[in-house]
Structure 1
Amino acid sequence: MTTSRQLAINRLRAAGPDAAAVDAFLDAHPAPIVEERRCTFLHRGDADEVHVVQRIVGLPEKLPLRRIHGTDLWFLVLELPERSRINYQIEVRRGEHYERGNDTLNPHLSYSPMGSSSVCFAQGYLTPDETVFDPDARPGELVELTIPSRALRRDARVTVYLPARFRRSTSYPLLVVHDGGDFLQYAAAKTVLDNLIHRLDVADVVVAFSYPGDRLVEYANSAAHARFVTSELLGALEDRLPLLAQRSGRCLLGSSFGAVASLTTAYRSPETYGALALMSGSFVFTDIPSDHGGGPAFDPVVKFVNRYRERPRRVADRLFVSCGVYEPLIVPNRSMVPTFESTGMSVRFVETRDGHNWENWRDTLRDALSWIYPGPQKLIYE
């Protein structure tokens, strides 16, 4: 096993490096340097302080790097369990001036609607192959729809995925995805669907990717949003497409606030949906009167979750729940599982070694979809 004295960075330190030795070291070691369970973050440049900025629950948000004496090379050794994946940035202080940005020594980036960040892949992490384009997988079709919504008082955009083997003579289950545009752009949702359906891991399914207006309002236990999904969206899709149009053939999926929207929509119509997929749900609650720390946007969420925990309701037959162990939300998600189970719902709970980000939810899609709508290949092996 690699010990701290055997780490590449410590061999460099012991050699008393000059600028040329640092150049050679960086040429030979892609950053971060992964050596078994230890990941060495690097930064080169004159600075008064350098920090890795990340959001691993239980660690300070800013982790300081140390400077190697006589050089402008800074380093931090962080131990990460196998198959972990974390997003981070580098913050540099020069006098009173701070700069924060992506790691210039690391080409791997993670993207979201908020921008990009650098990514560290610990030993053993592999990008799931279903998230990568497969030329052998027949592609499904994306169809754009606009649904006038009285509930939302706006026209609602929906992108509908039709599987490659789509036929109007067949009835299909339906998956409704909150933050649908982000799942398509940042979570490779179409590629994942094409691959999983082609490989018979997931049944042929029609997917409605929905787009929010003000998501922090519409997704935070909004009665108007629930009316749109259940009374308007389902009806419009079932009028246009050959769907099963029954409880067992309907599933709501969402991440973060989208998971809250999925749960609260099903709560208002407990006989409508057969399954929910709740990824990194923002299920913030308070056991005693206190400031929940989420800000005003979370007030209706906390009120709903507190009430649900006091009086749980069966809102579907099957729940898939997932969360990254590095997320602050891991504790409330773990706490919700026995609450869900107490209603008689079948719950599958998956923890990932990841954070609150789109790659986490991308990597979890196979577990969610193959459990909710298993294909013939999945059924054979189970």
Structure 2
Amino acid sequence: MTLPTPYPVARHRGKLAVNVLRSRGQITPEDVDHFLAEHDVPIVEGSKCTFLYRGEVDAVAVRHRIVNQPQHVPMKRIEGTDLWYCTIELPAHSRVEYSLESRVGHAVESFNDPLNPQVAHSPVGSSSVLHSAGYATPEWVLPQPDARPGELLDYDLHSRALRRTTHNRIYLPARFRGSSHYPLLVVHDGDDYLNYSSMKTVLDNIVHDLDMAETIVVFSNPGDRLKEYPNFAAHARHLTHELLPAIEAELPVVPRPEARCLMGASFGGVASLSTAFRNPGVWGNLFLQSGSFVFTDIGSDHGGGPAFDPVVRFMNRYRERPVRVTDRMMITCGVYEPLIVPNRSMVPVFESTGTQVRYVESRDGHSWENWRDRLRDGLSWIFPGPQKLVYE
């Protein structure tokens, strides 16, 4: 059998692979088979990223999550074939989650890209992932054979403040000793960080690599997070006056603000900030990822729906009278998410209080893998290693 002539990009400088295919004239199903076998999908050629779909449908489109860009991008059908394509331009080091949407008659279906094995997971499902030129999954998010694993323990604590039993997990570093003393990190949405951001693996690796001090980590989990996280007094009371004393009574953590950190993403970032705000002098560090710091300058229409009402009230009051709630603050956010504007806006507000702020942006969106990829930067800055003896 004679195979179709291959068409690598190098033979057609300046011409995208899909356009090389289109220029061949009459294209057979075997041509399409060979083309798909020769290319990873989406096809990344410099800043150009080409999405493909093969199937008999009336229309198909890419739905991505890049703010300020058309998020529904129709594909075009290559004449005489069942192959569809569209090309978007992305800067280097970008990571974008997306799905495909097809239409047959009046029936519309959304699904992950069947030609792309890269998938990211979250509490609400999964998405296909595009890695643009220059992006690589950090090696420290993958298990390292020489990194000794820490221990993860279940820890339930009844909360009078929240009127429920809280379900937590405690991470003890691999070389944990009861005779030593450790800084304490409390993480909102703890199980989600463990399940979708590989946080236990990251901790094992960066502690082993001496990027981060050996640290005791409490992975806290909410009940109704939309109620408990946006400046909820009972939540702040639980963390500071129930969970913290219980951990200090049972584990050798350093009982000083500089050795404590609250961490959270999205609404968890608001919960971390408001807890520190309500308990000044207790939490010396905050690690806030894509915090939902929505506020209004004029009027009351914030566009976030009723769930954001308490957030906006809290942020508006804080912006009117900013106070120092912590000594050091690490903030990360993706430039492709709508929250990039409020996060950028809050940095000078926090700095105006005398707080030491480190702010990091990434070419990513509002996603658990974005937050995963920023963990080493944040944790090694909050509790740099090896520094355990500093706290004893």
> Into which bin does the TM-score normalised by the smaller protein fall?
over 0.9
Judge conservation of contact 1:4–1:10 (CA < 8 Å) in 2: no
Report SS of the residue matched to 2:98: strand
Which of 183, 187, 192 is the matching residue for 1:173? 183
Judge conservation of contact 1:5–1:11 (CA < 8 Å) in 2: no
CA drift of 1:4 comes to 9.0
- Residue in 2 aligned with 1:295? 305
| Alpha-carbon spacing, 1:95–1:333, altered in 2? closer, same or farther (3 Å) | same
Question: What RMSD over aligned residues (CA atoms) do the two structures have, in Å?
Answer: 1.3
Report the Cα distance in structure 2 between the residues aligned to 1:5 and 1:66, rounded to whole angstroms: 21
1:68-107 counterparts in 2 under 5 A?
68-107=78-117
5+ residue gaps, structure 2, are 1-8, 388-392
Question: Which letter does structure 2 place at the counterpart of 1:15?
Answer: R
Judge conservation of contact 1:322–1:351 (CA < 8 Å) in 2: yes
Residue 62 of structure 2 corresponds to residue 52 of structure 1 = yes
Report the Cα distance in structure 1 between the residues aligned to 2:251 and 2:90, rounded to whole angstroms: 47
Report SS of the residue matched to 1:376: coil
1:157-172 counterparts in 2 under 5 A?
157-172=167-182
For 1:24-66, what per-residue CA distance to the aligned partner results, in whole angstroms no more than 9, with x for missing partners? 1011112101111111000011222211011101112211111
| Alpha-carbon spacing, 1:327–1:135, altered in 2? closer, same or farther (3 Å) | same
Question: Which letter does structure 2 place at the counterpart of 1:11?
Answer: V
Report SS of the residue matched to 1:327: coil
Write out the 4+ residue segments of structure 1 that deviate beyond 4 Å after TM superposition.
1-5
How many residues align? The count is 377
- Residue in 2 aligned with 1:307? 317
Which of 49, 58, 61 is the matching residue for 2:71? 61
TM-score in terms of structure 2 length = 0.94
Which of 375, 384, 389 is the matching residue for 1:365? 375
Report the Cα distance in structure 2 between the residues aligned to 1:290 and 1:318, rounded to whole angstroms: 31
For 1:287-328, what per-residue CA distance to the aligned partner results, in whole angstroms no more than 9, with x for missing partners? 011311111100000000111111111010000001000001
Which of 363, 373, 378 is the matching residue for 1:353? 363
5+ residue gaps, structure 1, are 378-382
Report the Cα distance in structure 2 between the residues aligned to 1:174 and 1:340, rounded to whole angstroms: 23
- Residue in 2 aligned with 1:10? 19
Residue 30 of structure 2 corresponds to residue 20 of structure 1 = yes
CA drift of 1:248 comes to 0.6
Judge conservation of contact 2:214–2:386 (CA < 8 Å) in 1: no
Report the Cα distance in structure 2 between the residues aligned to 1:129 and 1:30, rounded to whole angstroms: 21
Report SS of the residue matched to 1:92: strand
TM-score in terms of structure 1 length = 0.97
Judge conservation of contact 1:42–1:74 (CA < 8 Å) in 2: yes
For 1:305-356, what per-residue CA distance to the aligned partner results, in whole angstroms no more than 9, with x for missing partners? 1111111110100000010000010011000000000000000000011000
Question: Which letter does structure 2 place at the counterpart of 1:259?
Answer: G
Question: Which letter does structure 1 place at the counterpart of 2:22?
Answer: R
- Residue in 2 aligned with 1:380? none
Residue 178 of structure 2 corresponds to residue 189 of structure 1 = no
Residue 330 of structure 2 corresponds to residue 320 of structure 1 = yes
Residue 275 of structure 2 corresponds to residue 252 of structure 1 = no
Question: Which letter does structure 1 place at the counterpart of 2:20?
Answer: R
- Residue in 2 aligned with 1:342? 352
Report SS of the residue matched to 2:374: helix
Question: Which letter does structure 2 place at the counterpart of 1:8?
Answer: A
CA drift of 1:178 comes to 0.1
Report SS of the residue matched to 1:147: strand
Question: Which letter does structure 2 place at the counterpart of 1:355?
Answer: G
Report SS of the residue matched to 2:205: helix
- Residue in 2 aligned with 1:37? 47
Identity across the alignment (%): 60
CA drift of 1:71 comes to 1.0
Report the Cα distance in structure 2 between the residues aligned to 1:215 and 1:174, rounded to whole angstroms: 22
Report the Cα distance in structure 1 between the residues aligned to 2:139 and 2:325, rounded to whole angstroms: 33
| Alpha-carbon spacing, 1:270–1:4, altered in 2? closer, same or farther (3 Å) | farther
Report SS of the residue matched to 1:63: strand
Report the Cα distance in structure 1 between the residues aligned to 2:76 and 2:318, rounded to whole angstroms: 47
For 1:160-193, what per-residue CA distance to the aligned partner results, in whole angstroms no more than 9, with x for missing partners? 0000111111111000000000000100000000
Report the Cα distance in structure 1 between the residues aligned to 2:335 and 2:131, rounded to whole angstroms: 15
Report SS of the residue matched to 1:53: strand
- Residue in 2 aligned with 1:126? 136
1:94-243 counterparts in 2 under 5 A?
94-243=104-253
Question: Which letter does structure 1 place at the counterpart of 2:15?
Answer: Q
Question: Which letter does structure 2 place at the counterpart of 1:322?
Answer: T
